[in-house]
Chains A and B, each alone.
Chain A
Amino acid sequence: MNIKNKKWIIIIIVLGFLIRLFWIDFPKFTADEARIAYRGYTLITEGRDELGRVFPFIFNSSQDYQLPLTTYITALGIGIFGKNDYGARLPFILLGTMIVVISYKIAQFFNPRKEFCLFVSAIVAFSPGMIFLSKVPNESLVLTILVMLLFYLLAVKRFNLRLIVLVIILSLITSKFSWFIIPIFVPFVLFFFTNSVNKRIKIRISLLVICISISLFLIYFNIPQGKRSLIENNFSLFQDTSVTNGIDKLRGQGLESGGLPFIEKSLFNKTHFISIGFLNWLSQMQPYFFFGKFDEKNIDGFVNAGSLQKILIIPFLAGLFYILSNIEKKYLFLLISIGILTYPLIFAAPFNNLKSILPVIPFLAIITVFGFIHLRKFLRVVIIILFMFELGFMFLNMDMSTRIAQYERPTWIQEVIRDGLKRSGTQKLAISDNLASDLGVFVQWYMEGKMMGLDGDIIFPYKFRQTEISNIRIISSDSGFYMCGTDIPANVIASKRDVKKIASWLNVKTELAIKNAYKNDRGEDIAYFFDPTICVH
């Protein structure tokens, strides 16, 4: 195939890349993303993570432990482009663009028509969910590309055992989620879609992936807080007290009303965990998240967009009709894959983890294009026009996405931190912790240079939050203020909560003491700078 034949796919890839590159600093980082970025920086420059540990395998995050691959990819980007948005985001933009290429290749497996493959890659290239998560360091995107790559290597490309094993290992050190999906996904693809190798090799690879996954699981289970991490984040269903309370309450009401204990127990018992887990999974498999709004909290997605454009629900439904009415092994794969790639959500109830549905987007795109190519030409044109309109609006309206997620993805925090540090010089600086979620990591990422907080004493930092970073102190809700006397005062960047405290505890006229006020994206005052007259305890 020469360049001329490839021109459309090249155009789609380039557009996909540029659209991810456009407005590089959007979206602003969440605390976890900033932590990964800063960690990548310290790893590449010092060989230590933000907590001072030398090339660790398990990392810290605000809700869980984190597996290493995403961090080391970020470190690579920062090593090349420096401690800036390009360094932290470009590796993921490139990975996001690579998904477009792999989607094109995988689409050929389902339908070799060029038009079909181009549409699949275009949908993936311009998928709002994919674009958003291709612009920030996160493990869901990495896992998505590895899953796609695995399918490509196992079912489409000529069998390359070494490469396959490498990709399996990489995917298993990306996220815990992969420990549950990869040991099922790989044998499933091998036994149903791989024709180029014999059964013995298939069994060997399957056993290998199962053994590695179980080993990693067991090792993880035995590290300090490992069990807790699994229960809180991957098996939260079983510690969800609302289910137990619900069972007890509904059963108790039955008993109080004169119901027979046997009947009450048979109606309300622990089997509800199964149905609730299943319902939790179903609730995340609904069209609303695929085509309506990817993230209801507006943190991990564009404010007006689902994982795919809304208009695509029409071809998607048509595609679903098509593949259900022509059930072939290949088509069945699409539906079963969606189940395999998302089933761990059953155990994650009551939480929504919509980033986890990212790996199914390319499969949704394939189903969508099955429908699209069977629609009338007029309807196809209308869909393309509305698709572009939605895409255009999504980009025109990025400001809104920024404004609405301003606590989780604060844009103004960079200015506050840099200005605060500049004003403080070498003096101590104290900052209120409720300015943004997990403020310490923002301080580390947005300040110039690096500022190690710890010396690697904490080997297994589970949900660890730093409250002292060099000469910066994070003011918590428990902290108090006093007039220093002989103690050394600190510059203070206070939130409204702490301004109130300062005013009432110290009887200070805050309007005189405040030297600078910082505004958020909505133009509201968000933080206030105090000269060094106050001490924090």
Chain B
Amino acid sequence: MRSLILNNKIFIVIFLLGAFLRFFRLGDYPIHLNHDEMTQLYDSISIAQTGKDIYGNFLPFIFPSIGDFKPPFYTYITSIFYFVLGWNELIIRLPGAIFGVLIIPAIYFFTLEFLKKRSIALASAFFTAIAPFEIFFARKSFENGAGVFMLLIGFMFLFKFLKRPDVRWLYFSAVVFAFGMYTYFSHALIIPILLVVFVIKYRAEFANRVFNIFPVLLLLFLIAPLFFMILSNSNVRYRSQTVFIGQDRELGRLLEVGKTSNQFSDFFVHTYIYVDYVLDKYLKQFDPVYLFANGLDLTNQGLMGAGPLLLVQMLFVLLGILFLIRNNFLTKEKSFILLWVLIAMLPSALTFEKHSPHRVVMVFVMLNIVSGIGLSYFIDFIKRCRKYSFTILLVTFSAIFLNVIYFLHIYFINYPYEKSEYLQYPFKDVAEFAWSQYPNFESIVFDPSFGDFSPMVGVGAHYYLGYFGHYPPEKFQKELHTGSNPREMIFDKFSIRQVYWPADRSRKDTLFIVSIWSVPLSDVDQSLIIKRFNFYNGKLAFYAIKL
């Protein structure tokens, strides 16, 4: 044991560093559960207690949630944590953080099998431990981390099989890949493509092994229900449509301008515009500013933010690429890395958002490995310059350290100030206050239209109220129904809806919780305001009116 620790002390330090960055005050940062976390949390408790989500669907394959139809993996895995830890906000963040930590050894062993050089594996694990996107997504209850973990493990088993032809590795990889595909819908598309690419790339090695169909059949058997549900479930199709590039406004504008008088040319022109737009969008994903400077969208200060990768990593990514290009070995590995990046970037190009870092985590993972290659060879090179090697390495690691500190500052300090509204801050305070006033009013009306700069609707408000009121999910399932007012959801005394003040101001024995976007402060008698709720930056988010 002692020798195991001593032999792997650098890896253990990296692992502990990664674990620290993921678990340090996990319950406090991000400062508030966003609506994705909240909906999955309450649904997971509902599943654990009743076997149904809050809308009464029995063990759903896809969760209607707040109309965005969420993949099932994360909700179900959180249910397991609920059984262990009970009614606790932290349980929603634990699976993400745990997989976020497990990715570090996964990267290490995957890289070791893949590139067969320990220093590269260590450097890749190091970048994985400190990369902004890894920390950011691991702390925000994101299911993609689990999928990436399984993807890496799956390929590691495949490499092991190529090295030692033991068919058990194939069975393991089939199971792991299948699980990986269940975690996130885009994985169901990308993992099979990567597998096909892998088999083609390493066809010579596979040809030397005794062919065994059973692992393939096992994989097909395991993923058959997934594809059956994807193809047959209208909600999955709806989800795909709502995020598909067809919803992109700019594309819509181009198609409108590109209209011609002839039906045939219209079809031709529209097809071309569509394809061209997708290609443009695909290229845009390689914007270095997005990758290294502000892609995580943690601030409102333009280029001063944090990208999925550290700014200093740009140097090592370039060095890694240069090394791969300039060396004649690793031919298959080189093209596999390239194809991995090119293929895994596709989902972001096919969806309506300008950039979707959460859909291309696999790309960033590979770029961490490429920067690991860069760092490893940089260190090897510097070691040759004996006189200055210490100084250069000191400067290099100081730069990395400073960059990490900068990111942590942005993440822990600036992000809450700049983006608290996107974390649905202060819905928790609102919900807790509403419950504290429960006995004092006949009804409580909450209009979740809010925003710091412009209004948006917090569509998960009923989840916040249900969860923070410790409202039993079974009762919630029975009580929850839609009302006659615009976007109205009703349960118990609560009505979550749009407030129309000229009509609502005459109601009696009612607590209204509204923002300035639905009821301007000037329209309300100030003496009736019994509580104000601020965003993290101190600006007014909601206020409570007692009628």
Q: Point out residues on A near B: beta carbons under 8 Å.
A: 242-243, 245-247, 249-250, 253-254, 257, 259, 267-268, 272, 275-276, 279-280, 282-283, 285-288, 291-293, 303-304, 310, 313, 321, 324-325, 327, 349-350, 393, 397, 400, 403-404, 522
B547 at the interface (CB under 8 A from A): no
Contact with A along B317-330 (1 / 0, CB 8 A): 00000100110000
B413 pairs with A257, CB closer than 8 A: yes
A400–B254 Cα distance when bound, in Å, is 9
- Least CB distance from B222 to A in Å reads 36
B304 pairs with A303, CB closer than 8 A: no
- Least CB distance from A318 to B in Å reads 11
B311 at the interface (CB under 8 A from A): yes
A259–B293 Cα distance when bound, in Å, is 23
State whether A253 and B413 are in contact (beta carbons under 8 Å apart), knowing that A286-B286, A291-B283, A293-B280 are contacts in the complex: yes
A286–B413 Cα distance when bound, in Å, is 31
Among B279, B286, B304, which residue has its beta carbon within 8 angstroms of that of A250?
A: B304
B289 pairs with A283, CB closer than 8 A: yes
A397 pairs with B410, CB closer than 8 A: no
State whether A303 and B254 are in contact (beta carbons under 8 Å apart), knowing that A254-B414, A276-B304, A288-B284 are contacts in the complex: yes
B287 pairs with A288, CB closer than 8 A: yes
B272 pairs with A304, CB closer than 8 A: yes
A286–B295 Cα distance when bound, in Å, is 15
B356 at the interface (CB under 8 A from A): no
Q: Which of chain B's residues have a CB closer than 8 A to the CB of A313?
A: 283
- Least CB distance from B313 to A in Å reads 14
- Least CB distance from B31 to A in Å reads 11
Q: 14 A-B contacts, Cβ less than 8 Å apart?
A: A245-B301, A250-B304, A253-B418, A267-B405, A283-B289, A288-B287, A310-B276, A313-B283, A324-B326, A325-B325, A327-B326, A397-B258, A400-B254, A403-B257
Contacting A at CB under 8 A, from B401-446, are: 405-406, 409-410, 413-414, 417-418
Q: Which of chain B's residues have a CB closer than 8 A to the CB of A279?
A: 288-289, 292-293, 303
A247 pairs with B304, CB closer than 8 A: yes
Nearest chain-A residue to B250 (Cβ)?
A296
B304 pairs with A246, CB closer than 8 A: yes
5 more A-B residue pairs beyond the given contacts A254-B413, A292-B279, A293-B280, with a C-beta to C-beta distance below 8 A: A250-B299, A250-B410, A285-B288, A321-B325, A350-B302
Nearest chain-A residue to B294 (Cβ)?
A279
State whether A324 and B280 are in contact (beta carbons under 8 Å apart), knowing that A279-B289, A286-B286, A403-B257 are contacts in the complex: no
- Least CB distance from B404 to A in Å reads 11
B269 at the interface (CB under 8 A from A): yes
B272 pairs with A393, CB closer than 8 A: yes
Q: Which of chain A's residues have a CB closer than 8 A to the CB of B322?
A: 324
- Least CB distance from B256 to A in Å reads 9
B529 at the interface (CB under 8 A from A): no
B273 at the interface (CB under 8 A from A): yes
Q: Which of chain A's residues have a CB closer than 8 A to the CB of B304?
A: 243, 246-247, 250, 268, 272, 276
B413 pairs with A283, CB closer than 8 A: no
A280–B294 Cα distance when bound, in Å, is 12
B269 pairs with A397, CB closer than 8 A: yes
B302 pairs with A242, CB closer than 8 A: yes
State whether A400 and B409 are in contact (beta carbons under 8 Å apart), knowing that A242-B301, A283-B288 are contacts in the complex: no
State whether A400 and B288 are in contact (beta carbons under 8 Å apart), knowing that A257-B413, A276-B303, A313-B283 are contacts in the complex: no
Q: Which of A245, A259, A272, A288 has the most CB of B within 10 A?
A: A288
Contact with A along B164-187 (1 / 0, CB 8 A): 000000000000000000000000
State whether A404 and B257 are in contact (beta carbons under 8 Å apart), knowing that A249-B301, A250-B301, A250-B304 are contacts in the complex: yes
- Least CB distance from B356 to A in Å reads 16
A310–B275 Cα distance when bound, in Å, is 11
B409 pairs with A286, CB closer than 8 A: no
A522–B253 Cα distance when bound, in Å, is 13
- Least CB distance from B331 to A in Å reads 12
A276–B303 Cα distance when bound, in Å, is 6
State whether A287 and B283 are in contact (beta carbons under 8 Å apart), knowing that A250-B414, A254-B413, A397-B269 are contacts in the complex: yes
State whether A286 and B287 are in contact (beta carbons under 8 Å apart), knowing that A254-B413, A350-B302 are contacts in the complex: yes
A303–B414 Cα distance when bound, in Å, is 38
Q: Which of chain B's residues have a CB closer than 8 A to the CB of A242?
A: 301-302
- Least CB distance from B279 to A in Å reads 6
A285–B416 Cα distance when bound, in Å, is 32
- Least CB distance from B415 to A in Å reads 10
Nearest chain-B residue to A242 (Cβ)?
B302
Q: Which of chain B's residues have a CB closer than 8 A to the CB of A393?
A: 272
Among B276, B405, B406, which residue has its beta carbon within 8 angstroms of that of A304?
A: B276
Q: Which of chain B's residues have a CB closer than 8 A to the CB of A259?
A: 409, 413
State whether A292 and B311 are in contact (beta carbons under 8 Å apart), knowing that A247-B304, A279-B303, A283-B288 are contacts in the complex: no
A304–B269 Cα distance when bound, in Å, is 11
- Least CB distance from B329 to A in Å reads 12
A321–B413 Cα distance when bound, in Å, is 41
Q: Which of chain B's residues have a CB closer than 8 A to the CB of A287?
A: 283, 286
A250–B302 Cα distance when bound, in Å, is 12
Q: Which of chain A's residues have a CB closer than 8 A to the CB of B276?
A: 304, 310
Q: Which of chain B's residues have a CB closer than 8 A to the CB of A268?
A: 304
Q: Which of chain B's residues have a CB closer than 8 A to the CB of A254?
A: 409, 413-414
Q: Which of chain A's residues have a CB closer than 8 A to the CB of B302?
A: 242-243, 246, 276, 350
Nearest chain-B residue to A259 (Cβ)?
B413
B286 pairs with A288, CB closer than 8 A: yes
Q: Which of chain B's residues have a CB closer than 8 A to the CB of A310?
A: 276, 279, 283
A1–B288 Cα distance when bound, in Å, is 46
Q: Which of chain A's residues have a CB closer than 8 A to the CB of B287?
A: 283, 286, 288
A262–B410 Cα distance when bound, in Å, is 16
A325–B322 Cα distance when bound, in Å, is 8
A81–B299 Cα distance when bound, in Å, is 55
Nearest chain-A residue to B408 (Cβ)?
A267
Q: Which of chain B's residues have a CB closer than 8 A to the CB of A292?
A: 279-280, 283-284
Q: Which of chain B's residues have a CB closer than 8 A to the CB of A327?
A: 326
- Least CB distance from B214 to A in Å reads 37
State whether A288 and B283 are in contact (beta carbons under 8 Å apart), knowing that A243-B304, A304-B272, A400-B258 are contacts in the complex: yes
A291–B288 Cα distance when bound, in Å, is 15
Q: Which of chain A's residues have a CB closer than 8 A to the CB of B417?
A: 253
Q: Which of chain B's residues have a CB closer than 8 A to the CB of A404?
A: 254, 257
Nearest chain-B residue to A393 (Cβ)?
B272
Nearest chain-A residue to B405 (Cβ)?
A267
B283 pairs with A267, CB closer than 8 A: no
Q: Which of B299, B326, B414, B418 has the most CB of A within 10 A?
A: B414
A253 pairs with B325, CB closer than 8 A: no
